[in-house]
Amino acid sequence: MTAQSTTHAMKDRPIAVFDSGVGGISVLKHIHALLPFEQLLYVADSKYAPYGNKTPAEIQARCFEIADFLIAKDAKVIVVACNTATAAAIDAMRAKYTLPNHIPIIGMEPAVKPAAEASKNGIIGVLATTGTLKSAQFAGLLESYGRNVKVVTQACVGLVECIERGEIAAENTLRLVEQYCRPLLDAGADTIVLGCTHYPFARALIEQVVGSDVTLIDTGAAVAKHLQQRLLALDLLSDNNQLTQVQFWTNSEANDAKQVISQLWGQSAEISIL
Ligand code: DGL
């Protein structure tokens, strides 16, 4: 193989994305829109969802198993499309994969900084999982960007499970959204961070509850942009100019697992059971 073809082969390897379940598909959509010619792999670790109530050690073990699978599929980069997993495992993943194997690991965190900048009245709300809100990484975010604003946090127990079942417009999902948004509205938040990748799928319900005066902030587009910049800097953007189908894997035991992925992805997809 010539040096030239080695380079092409490197660039044309897939971008791998994973989450505790189907939530990261909200990030995958932004990646696909920005980088339509990149080959994309997605793993939904739905059998082990939610991560939000697991220990960091349990989450790290899941992340390692999935990353090993994705690296065996020749991933050139891994996107942890999960705030909870990023908080629990990003350092361990970088130590295990980036340093020895040169696989960049892109993580994500609740958009406290953009929310603090966007807020007009200085009161922001953060909807996230218990794990994210309890993490040292989130404490660091508040320390860095939350000093000049009031930050009201709310763990949304049970909401991830609704999205995992594809219940994005259901009455029970709406009731949970009302329960979790109420304290943020009562505190006067004018900006709310969707600090879990499952929540953008409940965006219509959240908008219905909080109204149009409250700004909702989702990090999916920023993650896609950051990924593009990292690949550009590493000269790893694909030279391909043909659309490819995304490959999904799920370990969900639900009968309708494939249907839920198709519903949330909204395009044709190749879905396998892990
Ligand atoms: N989608 C996830 C996140 O961004 C994890 C949700 C969960 O499994 O609890 O935090």
Res 6 pLDDT > 80: no
- Which of 174, 202, 218 is the endpoint of a domain? 218
**Please, which pLDDT band fits residue 23 given cuts at 50, 70 and 90?**
very high
User: Letter for the amino acid at 170?
Assistant: A
pLDDT of res. 266: 96
**Environment class of 99 (CB within 10 Å of its CB; exposed 0-12, middle 13-18, buried 19+):** exposed
**Please, which pLDDT band fits residue 3 given cuts at 50, 70 and 90?**
very low
**pLDDT per position as a tens digit, 49-75:** 999 999 999 999 999 999 999 999 999
Q: What is the token pair recorded at 200?
A: 């953008």
Neighbour tally for 75: CB within 10 Å: 22
219 Cα–ligand 1 center, Å: 13
Same domain? 104 vs 229:
yes
Computed over every residue of the chain, the mean pLDDT equals 95
182 Cα–ligand 1 center, Å: 21
Report which DSSP code applies to 14.
Answer: P
- Which of 195, 218, 241 is the endpoint of a domain? 218
Same domain? 96 vs 118:
no
| Helical axes 171-186 vs 203-210, angle rounded to 10° | 50
Res 101 pLDDT > 90: no
Domain containing 132: what range? 112-218
Question: pTM for the whole thing?
Answer: 0.96
Domain count within the chain: 2
Percent residues over pLDDT 90 in the chain = 91
**Please, which pLDDT band fits residue 97 given cuts at 50, 70 and 90?**
very high
pLDDT of res. 100: 80
Same domain? 100 vs 135:
no
pLDDT of res. 137: 96
**Please, which pLDDT band fits residue 2 given cuts at 50, 70 and 90?**
very low
23 Cα–ligand 1 center, Å: 7
Same domain? 229 vs 204:
no
The atom number, within ligand 1, closest to the CA of 84 reads 10
**pLDDT per position as a tens digit, 223-265:** 999 999 999 999 999 998 888 889 999 999 999 999 999 999 9
- Which residues are designated catalytic? 82, 196
Same domain? 104 vs 163:
no
**Environment class of 147 (CB within 10 Å of its CB; exposed 0-12, middle 13-18, buried 19+):** exposed
Q: Which of 25, 66, 80, 83 to mutate to test the pocket of ligand 1 (most atoms within 8 A of CB)?
A: 83
Same domain? 135 vs 210:
yes
**pLDDT per position as a tens digit, 118-163:** 999 999 999 999 999 999 999 999 999 999 999 999 999 999 999 9
